[in-house]
Chain A
Amino acid sequence: MIAASTAGVAARFRTGDRVTVRWADVPGHIRTPWYIRGRTGVIERLCGAYPNPEELAYARSGLPARPLYRVRFAQAAVWPDYAGSAADTLDVEIYEHWLEPA
Chain B
Amino acid sequence: MRSHHDMGGLPAGRVEATEHDYALWEKRVDALMVLLSAGGRMSTDELRKNIEALGPAAYDRMTYYERWMHSISQTLIQRGVITVDELGRKMARVEARRQGEGEGP
- A88 to B2 CA separation, bound complex (whole angstroms): 26
Contact code string A38-64 (vs B, CB < 8 Å = 1, else 0) = 000000000000000110111100100
Q: Which one of A28, A34, A35 contacts B49 once the chains associate, using CB atoms below 8 Å?
A: A28
Given A28-B49, A29-B48, A35-B8, residue A59 in contact with residue B43 (CB < 8 A): yes
Question: Is the pair A57, B48 in contact by a Cβ cutoff of 8 Å?
Answer: yes
A84 within 8 A of B: no
Question: What's the tally of chain B residues with a CB closer than 8 Å to chain A?
Answer: 15
What is B's interface to A at a CB cutoff of 8 Å? 1-3, 6, 8-9, 43-46, 48-49, 52, 78-79
Q: How many residue pairs bridge A and B at CB < 8 Å?
A: 38
| Chain B residues with CB under 8 A of A62 | 45
Please state if B8 and A57 are interface contacts (CB–CB under 8 Å): no
Q: Are A59 and B1 in contact (CB under 8 A)?
A: no
- Interface residue from A34, A54, A57 paired with B2 (Cβ < 8 Å): A34
**Extra contacts besides A30-B6, A59-B78, A62-B45 (6): CB < 8 Å:** A25-B1, A35-B8, A56-B45, A57-B46, A59-B79, A79-B9
